[in-house]
Amino acid sequence: MTSAGFNVTSSLTLVGFSSLSGHSSLLFFVFLLLYLFVLFSDSLVIYIICSQRALHRPMFIFVASFLLNSLTASTLIYPKLLSDLLLSGAGLVQVSRTLCLCQGFFVSCLGGSSFMLLSAMAFDRYLSICYPMHYAVLVTPAKVVLMLLLCWMLPAILAVVSTLLASRLPLCRAQLNRVYCDIYSLVSLSCGVLKRS
C-alpha cells in the first residue's frame, strides 16, 4: 500500500463465473465443444482457401485472414478459460497483473483487427459491386497486402499504447467481473487521476 492509499497489488481476481461455480463441469464441456468447433471449422476453411488455387482472390484472402484472427483469439481465451473452470472450485480465479495486461493487449489487438478486417472485406465487396469493370485495377495483390498489413498493424500499435498506459495506473480494487482480462476492465479498477501529461 502506498501513502496515497492506492493498491499496487500484483494479482487480480476474476469473478466472472463465481455465481455459476456449481456448474463448472457443464460449462467446461460446453466451452470445450465450442473451442473444438472453432478450431476445426476455422482450420478447415483456411486449409481449403490455401490449397485451392481458384480461391486465391482478395475476397477469400480476407476471409482466411479473418478466420485466422478468430482462431488466434479463440486460442488466446479458451484454453485459459477451460483450465480456470477445471481448477477453480469457487469460481474465483487469481491472475497476475502482468498476465492480465498481456491478455488485455491481445484481446485489444485481435478485437481491433477483426473490425478492421470486416471493414476491408466490406470495402472489397463495395468495389467489386459498384466498380466491376475497374475492380482488377483498384484491387491489386499489392493493395491487398497493404490493406492486410494495415488491418493487423494499426490495432497492434493502438493496443501497445493502451496497454502501456493501463500498466501505469494504480489500482483501487482487485476484482474483475469477467472471465478474461481486457484493458477497459483494468482501467475501470484504477483510482488514479486520468489526465494528460
C-alpha torsion angle, residues 40, 46, 52, 57 (rounded to 10): 150
User: What confidence score (pLDDT) does residue 196 get?
Assistant: 61
Question: Given pLDDT bands bounded at 50, 70 and 90, which one contains residue 48?
Answer: very high
Residue range 108-122, pLDDT digits in tens: 999 999 999 999 999
Q: Confirm whether 197 is domain-assigned.
A: no
- Is residue 163 over pLDDT 60? yes
* Least confident range of 14-23, 42-51, 77-86, 116-125: 14-23
Range of the domain at 44: 12-187
Q: Confirm whether 195 is domain-assigned.
A: no
Q: Find how far residue 147's CA is from the centre of its chain.
A: 19
What is the number of domains present in the chain?
A: 1
Of 197 and 80, more confident? 80
Give mean pLDDT, residues 10-39: 82
**Are residues 91 and 21 in contact, defined by beta-carbon separation less than 8 angstroms?**
yes
Q: Confirm whether 6 is domain-assigned.
A: no
Q: Tell me the torsion sign for CA atoms 140, 146, 152, 155.
A: negative
174: domain CATH number?
1.20.1070.10
User: What confidence score (pLDDT) does residue 3 get?
Assistant: 41
- Compute the 3-state secondary structure of the chain and give helix, strand, coil in percent, each to the nearest 5: 70, 5, 25
Residues paired with residue 93 on neighbouring β-strands, in sequence order: 14
User: What confidence score (pLDDT) does residue 9 get?
Assistant: 60
Segments of 23-173 assigned E as strands: 93-96
- What's the pTM value of the predicted model, to 2 decimals? 0.84
